[in-house]
Amino acid sequence: MQTTRRALISFAVLLAGWQALVWATGVEPFILPGPWLVLKSLAGHLGLIGRHATVTLLEIVLGLIFGSGLGIASAIGLSWFPSLRRWLLPLLVVMQAIPVFALAPVLVLWVGYGLASKVMMASLIIFFPVTAAFLDGLRRTEPGWLDLAQTMTAGGHGPGRWMILRHIRIPAALPALASGLRVAAAVAPIGAVVGEWVGSSVGLGYLMLHANGRMQIDLLFAALFVLAAMAVTIFFTLDWLLRRLLPWQPDTLPSD
């Protein structure tokens, strides 16, 4: 509750600062509209923004599902097959260094103008942090647990190896996976919006670009506000969910 109140106060101070800046500099509304103007524009275009926001939200959520699923599967695959790890891990690291945004035009060219290219873009951007975080967790299992499990499964070969992965390595890596998923939730909107910028006829990214072109800067800001609110909501919902699901992972930083 305390945290929420602090967040609201910070937000209010930010708004006041924004308004003060607009008043003090007398900047034209088509360069920087004040918060009041943005709010008015938001109220006036509620239906329009809502329609575009629904599409973007769908892209983000689908991207999160596919990207996380793919990341989880590939992390488990990489941890299971040492040869796969030797061959693919360096490749993954190099691929992660490629700015995914640069691929957006190609994706639109290949997959088309519609939803699929944006979902793919978001998935791609999510895939790496999820894979990296989960694989890291899978590799850092407490050696003592593995020793114990080996003595219980006659050496941990054959079916024992799978059972150790399922009952020890994977649960032990869940907190690391949760960190990866938090990063994913934070970057997924970027993927979706970049995809929309490159080529689309619907979505908040498209609406912002369109509004910018027609000097409707207040509408651009209204769309941006909704996008930010959506991203923050997704992040905190996921964070709350992960905390509920992993109760044994205590928060050791004091909540001050």
Q: Which residue ranges make up the site for another protein (CB under 8 A)?
A: 142, 144-145, 147-155, 159-160, 163-164, 167-168, 171-172, 174, 246-250
Q: Which is nearer to another protein, 107 or 149 (CB)?
A: 149
Q: Which is nearer to another protein, 28 or 147 (CB)?
A: 147
Q: Which is nearer to another protein, 76 or 223 (CB)?
A: 76
6 class by beta-carbon count within 10 Å (0-12 exposed, 13-18 middle, 19+ buried): exposed
Q: Which is nearer to another protein, 248 or 254 (CB)?
A: 248
Tokens representing 51 are 């329609």
Closest distance between another protein and the C-beta of residue 235, in Å?
A: 24
Closest distance between another protein and the C-beta of residue 149, in Å?
A: 6
User: Helix, strand, or coil here: 38?
Assistant: helix
Distance CA 145, CA 114 (A): 48
Q: Distances from the Cα of 37 to the Cαs of 25, 40, 53, 215, in angstroms? A: 16, 5, 20, 14
Q: Which is nearer to another protein, 96 or 249 (CB)?
A: 249
Quick check: 226 and 42 in contact, CB under 8 A? yes
CA-based nearest residue to 194, from 129, 76, 101, 95: 101
CA-based nearest residue to 80, from 143, 139, 2: 139
Q: What is the CA angle 42-205-215, rounded to 5?
A: 60
Closest distance between another protein and the C-beta of residue 252, in Å?
A: 12
Q: Which is nearer to another protein, 132 or 149 (CB)?
A: 149
Give the other-Cβ count within 10 Å of 183's Cβ: 16
CA-based nearest residue to 191, from 109, 113, 111, 99: 99
Closest distance between another protein and the C-beta of residue 253, in Å?
A: 17
Closest distance between another protein and the C-beta of residue 168, in Å?
A: 7
DSSP structure class, residue 169: I
Closest distance between another protein and the C-beta of residue 48, in Å?
A: 47
Distance CA 91, CA 127 (A): 14
Closest distance between another protein and the C-beta of residue 85, in Å?
A: 20
Q: Which is nearer to another protein, 102 or 154 (CB)?
A: 154
